[in-house]
Amino acid sequence: MTCQDEVMPPARNRGRLSRDVVVNAAVDLLDEHGSRGLTFKLLTERLQTGAGAVYWHVANKDELVTMATDQVIGTALERLSPEPGTSPEARIRALALSVYDTLDQHTWAAPHVVAVHTMPHTMRLLERIGGMIAETRLPVRRRFAVATAIFIYLTSVTAQDAGRAVAAGPDSTRDDMLRHEAQQWAALDPETFPFVTRIAEDLGHHDDRDQFLTGLDLILDGLRAQVGDLP
Amino acid sequence: MTCQDEVMPPARNRGRLSRDVVVNAAVDLLDEHGSRGLTFKLLTERLQTGAGAVYWHVANKDELVTMATDQVIGTALERLSPEPGTSPEARIRALALSVYDTLDQHTWAAPHVVAVHTMPHTMRLLERIGGMIAETRLPVRRRFAVATAIFIYLTSVTAQDAGRAVAAGPDSTRDDMLRHEAQQWAALDPETFPFVTRIAEDLGHHDDRDQFLTGLDLILDGLRAQVGDLP
DNA sequence: CACGTCATGGAACGTCATTCCATACTTGCC
DNA sequence: GGCAAGTATGGAATGACGTTCCATGACGTG
């Protein structure tokens, strides 16, 4: 009855871990503690396991971050309720806004969006955009250029805006950041920066999301001009 | 005459280091070894100094990378010869291409471009764009929106394209990467990815730089429409 | 020539990603 | 029903890295 098995590990929990469980835990940690918050120490503590177990399911940290980022793109697609009957244009707008707002909530993912081009959920995103484009009367040979233009605009501008929120720090809002940036602009030398100092004020009451939509509409205008009326 | 001063460091080299020297060395290391190539070990070896000396000039590694990225933006502005007489539109195009090609040569900088909005050279870039916009007949209150739209398009799309080149690895070209990506697209299930599989072929003979220019021209078209003729 | 400030070089520290291995559960085969 | 091969786990050990700390030296100022 002497307890000599202190050293012995407890019964192994087989099948408790999986790729998805690990990725979801990574997303949670990144959401909670920011881009620096994902460490294998925290990850193994939360999953109540060891590093080796995690490495059985993922190749390395880079891959884990990439999968976590793709997961975020996936949630942006999931939260979108299909609205049959509305125009392709309107649905592209809704899709774009969903991605924009989702990345805004997971700002750590922004810098990595460029690296997930070939990941499953991101491919679904491109497929969705392409499907909507295909519903228009746009000539087939133009579809590639237009769909990828929208895709690139969506992912890269969204990433840029979200990145600005990251620089602001976790507790400050995007508005705080803009005000701070506007102050820095206004403080520049008006001699060498005549333009920037003059428009610094505009930056104060400027809305990233509005501007994102404005740019998207510009592309959609171009699309409409090429298509004529939509079906 | 006994050599007891083995322990003594050699004569100090005062004033040999400076912020600029450190940043330039960082840029060189990043160019040579990629985004992982900047370590304080390599940096101090190359500069023949210790970590403390570097930390006297730089707050931490993040700041160093940010300054290195801004430095790259600076070289994009420097390599641009002023061409008086040409239209603002043509000069914006030339400026955009210079940034695009420079970031293509320093692909490690791409993910950090979003973080340098308030850095000196990046401010110069926005100032240059704004100055050209101001030369047009665009109403003053529209200048902010258009200038920042061009700036955001330029920096974020360029960063995205350069990021794709990073994923390709140091020894493969951007074309290799595109071909590889096209193969992955083509290998997807045609049932769930009807659009992507169909346009996979187009991706093979697609030119990022061309598409970048196409998108920029779209914005410039919008600008011209709002301005009427340029002065 | 003394004294405070600026600057340097490198040792030491703590954190982190990653590797390695001993263990145990599961499946398939005889 | 047992034995081997593959699958999965937990944690100790390793090495690389960013950062801090401190002893040392050079310069400017009185």
- B133 vs A170, residue with greater confidence: B133
Q: Is residue A5 part of a domain?
A: no
- Domain region containing B194: 83-227
For residue A214, tell me if it sits in a domain: yes
pLDDT of amino acid A191: 95
Position with higher pLDDT, A90 vs A229: A90
pLDDT at A3: 38
CB distance from B204 to chain A under 8 Å?
Answer: no
State the nearest Cα–Cα gap between B117 and chain A, in angstroms. Answer: 8
Residue A6 forms part of a structural domain: no
Specify the 3-state DSSP secondary structure of A115. Answer: helix
Q: What is the domain count for chain A?
A: 2
User: Cβ neighbours of residue B14 under 8 Å, at least 6 residues apart?
Assistant: none
Are residue A125 and residue A82 in the same domain, yes or no?
Answer: yes
Residues of A in contact with B63 (CB under 8 A): none
Mean of the pLDDT values across residues A122-151? Answer: 90
Position A51 pLDDT exceeds 70: yes
pLDDT at residue B231, as a whole number: 46
Q: What is the pLDDT of residue A9?
A: 43
pLDDT(A146) > 80: yes
Is the pLDDT reported for residue A115 higher than 70?
Answer: yes
Inform me whether the pLDDT recorded for A229 exceeds 60: no
Give CA–CA dist B117/B218, Å, rounded: 24
Residue A154's CB: how many other CB atoms inside 10 A? 25
Per the CB < 8 A criterion, the answer to whether A212 and A157 are in contact is yes
Cα distances from A43 to residues A38, A39, A106, in angstroms, run 7, 6, 18
CA atoms within 13 A on the CB side of A122: 22
Average pLDDT value for residue range A164-180: 71
Sort out which chain B residues have CB atoms less than 8 A from A147's CB and list them. Answer: 195, 199
Answer yes or no: is pLDDT of A2 > 50. no
- Considering the domain architecture, whether residues A41 and A112 belong to the same structural domain is answered as no
The answer to whether residue B49 is domain-embedded is no
Residue A28's CATH number: 1.10.10.60
Question: Which residues on B lie below 8 Å from A215 (Cβ)?
Answer: 149, 152-153
More confident residue, A123 or B206: A123
Give the CATH number, domain containing residue B100.
1.10.357.10
Asked if strand C contacts B46 at the CB level, meaning under 7 A, the answer is no
Say if residue A137 is in the same domain as residue A173: yes
Report the alpha-carbon distance of residue B110 to residue A157 in Å, rounded: 14
- Flag residues of chain B having pLDDT under 50: 1-11, 229-231
Residue A87, pLDDT > 50, answer yes
pLDDT band at A178 (very low <50, low <70, confident <90, very high): confident
Tell me what pLDDT residue A198 has: 93
Residue A14 confidence (pLDDT) above 80: no
Residue in B50, B59, B61 with CA at minimum distance from that of residue B16: B50
Determine the Cα–Cα distance for residues A155 and A117; give it in Å rounded to an integer: 10
Task: Note the pLDDT of residue B167.
Answer: 67
Confidence band (pLDDT; 50, 70, 90) for A1? very low
pTM for the predicted model, two decimal places? 0.86
Residues 6+ apart with CB under 8 A from A162: A103, A104, A107, A109, A110
Query: Does B159 sit within 8 Å of A114, measured CB to CB?
Result: yes
- Asked whether B113 and A182 are in contact (CB, 8 A), the reply is no
User: Do A40 and A82 reside in the same domain of the chain?
Assistant: no
C1' of C3 to CA of B61 (Å) = 34
- Any idea which residue has 């420097």 for tokens? B78
A175 lies in some domain: yes
Residues 3-62 of chain B whose Cβ lies under 8 A from any Cβ of chain A: none
Q: Residue B223: its pLDDT value, please?
A: 78
Q: Which residues contact A181 (CB under 8 A, 6 or more apart)?
A: A203, B117, B118
CA angle (B156 as vertex; A158, A184 as ends), nearest 5: 90
Do the domain assignments include residue B42? no
pLDDT (0 to 100) of residue B38 = 97
pLDDT attached to residue B176: 79
pLDDT score of A10 more than 90: no
Residue-level pLDDT at B76 = 96
Is it the case that residue A31 has pLDDT exceeding 90?
yes
| Residue appearing with tokens 């990815």 | B193
Cα torsion A139, A140, A145, A147 to 10°: value is 100
Check pLDDT > 90 for residue A13: no
Region A152-159 average pLDDT: 85
According to the model, what pLDDT value does residue A170 have?
59
Q: Residue range A76-104: average pLDDT? A: 91
CB-CB under 8 Å, B215 with A218: no
> Do A30 and A106 belong to one domain?
no
Q: Calculate the average pLDDT of chain A.
A: 85
The pLDDT assigned to A231 comes to 47
